[in-house]
């Protein structure tokens, strides 16, 4: 029997940083896209709580539930053979107590087969990161713009533009590394600050709206494919315009159904 394909490991990510090989991460919410991304060579599939906005139509990530994240992570894991699968821990599943964080993260790992969890926060979350790592759960950190704190931050704004918040982010990054995080997402951080943080750490940084100097990059899949064409912030580059393709395809299908040209003989069965 052939050996099962091995997913990318946290140790492999450290090697990629040391060798200056950029890390490619995209969000993913289902098995079909997981297979396509995996076959395309994506290193990490992040089952982000952004699913609550992208697929569920919510205004923020805050109402995402643990059951929701477990469902989507489980089906993403079915489609991924080589990529690392990381699950976002949703709001209030890890902030209330360390015990709840351990129980909820453990449930995610057991029920989904994912390789790691991600949580938001810096210094104040470092002890929770350490507790999770100590029981064998790999943790990806997330600082800068942290969507679960969007209201406290005053909206979706770049973080670290002044000296005080810049120093705070540098301290947060060091605390997460010392707590045992294997990587850190830097979201909406000025490029010079992201570069400084990246150079100061032995673990990889993965940027979104944080410039070109991070060890890797992540985008929301539906944004970069042009499926979510009503959302176009500065940091998103569209690599396709699939929303237009979908509209054209559906309009053609509807027209052919209505004028009786579909289905034709080619798409029908004889007795």
Identify whether 5 is part of a domain.
Answer: no
CA distance 62 to 79: 27
Which residues have CB under 8 Å from 148's CB, separation 6+?
49, 61, 62, 90, 91, 120
Q: Are 264 and 170 members of one domain?
A: no
What residue numbers bound the domain in which 263 lies? Answer: 242-271
Contact (Cβ atoms closer than 8 angstroms) between residue 146 and residue 190 = no
Q: Are 128 and 196 members of one domain?
A: yes
Q: Give residue 6's pLDDT.
A: 79
Q: Are 167 and 261 members of one domain?
A: no
Q: Give residue 232's pLDDT.
A: 86
Q: Are 152 and 247 members of one domain?
A: no
Identify whether 3 is part of a domain.
Answer: no
Q: Give residue 5's pLDDT.
A: 56
Q: Give residue 7's pLDDT.
A: 84
Q: Catalytic: 19?
A: no
Q: Give residue 154's pLDDT.
A: 87
Identify whether 164 is part of a domain.
Answer: yes
Q: Are 184 and 63 members of one domain?
A: yes
Q: Are 248 and 231 members of one domain?
A: no
Identify whether 208 is part of a domain.
Answer: yes
CA distance 60 to 209: 18
Pick the catalytic residue: 99, 111, 167, 187?
187
How many domains is the chain partitioned into structurally?
2
Q: Are 148 and 230 members of one domain?
A: yes
Considering only CA atoms, which of 201, 141, 196, 142 is closest in space to residue 166?
196
Q: Per residue of the chain (271 residues), what is the pLDDT tens digit?
A: 345 457 899 999 999 999 999 999 999 999 999 999 999 999 999 999 999 999 999 999 999 999 999 999 999 999 999 999 999 999 999 999 999 999 999 999 999 999 999 999 999 999 999 999 999 999 999 999 999 999 888 889 999 999 999 999 999 999 999 999 999 999 999 999 999 999 999 999 999 999 999 999 999 999 999 999 988 899 999 999 999 999 999 999 999 999 999 999 999 999 8
Q: Are 251 and 163 members of one domain?
A: no
């Amino acid at each position: 029997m052939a050996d099962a394909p091995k997913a990318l490991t946290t140790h492999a990510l450290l090697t990629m940083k040391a060798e200056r090989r950029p890390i490619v991460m995209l969000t993913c919410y289902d098995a079909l896209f997981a297979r396509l991304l995996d076959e395309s060579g994506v290193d990490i599939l992040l089952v982000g709580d952004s699913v609550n906005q992208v697929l569920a139509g919510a205004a923020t990530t805050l109402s995402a539930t643990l059951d929701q994240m477990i469902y989507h992570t489980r089906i993403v894991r079915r489609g991924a053979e080589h990529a690392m699968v990381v699950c976002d821990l949703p709001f209030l599943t890890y902030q209330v107590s360390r015990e709840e964080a351990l129980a909820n993260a453990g449930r995610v790992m057991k029920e989904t087969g994912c390789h790691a969890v991600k949580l938001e926060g810096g210094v104040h979350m470092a002890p929770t990161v350490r507790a999770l790592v100590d029981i064998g759960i790999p943790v990806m950190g997330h600082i800068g713009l942290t969507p679960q704190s969007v209201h406290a931050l005053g909206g979706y704004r770049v973080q670290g533009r002044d000296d005080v918040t810049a120093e705070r982010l540098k301290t947060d990054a060091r605390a997460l590394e010392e707590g045992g995080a294997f990587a850190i997402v830097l979201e909406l951080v000025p490029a010079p600050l992201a570069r400084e943080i990246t150079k100061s750490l032995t673990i990889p940084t993965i940027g979104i709206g944080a410039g070109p100097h991070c060890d890797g990059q992540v985008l929301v899949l539906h944004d970069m494919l042009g499926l979510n064409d009503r959302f176009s912030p500065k940091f998103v580059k569209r690599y396709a315009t699939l929303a237009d393709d979908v509209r054209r395809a559906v309009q053609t299908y509807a027209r052919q159904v209505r004028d009786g040209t579909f289905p034709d003989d080619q798409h029908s069965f004889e007795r």
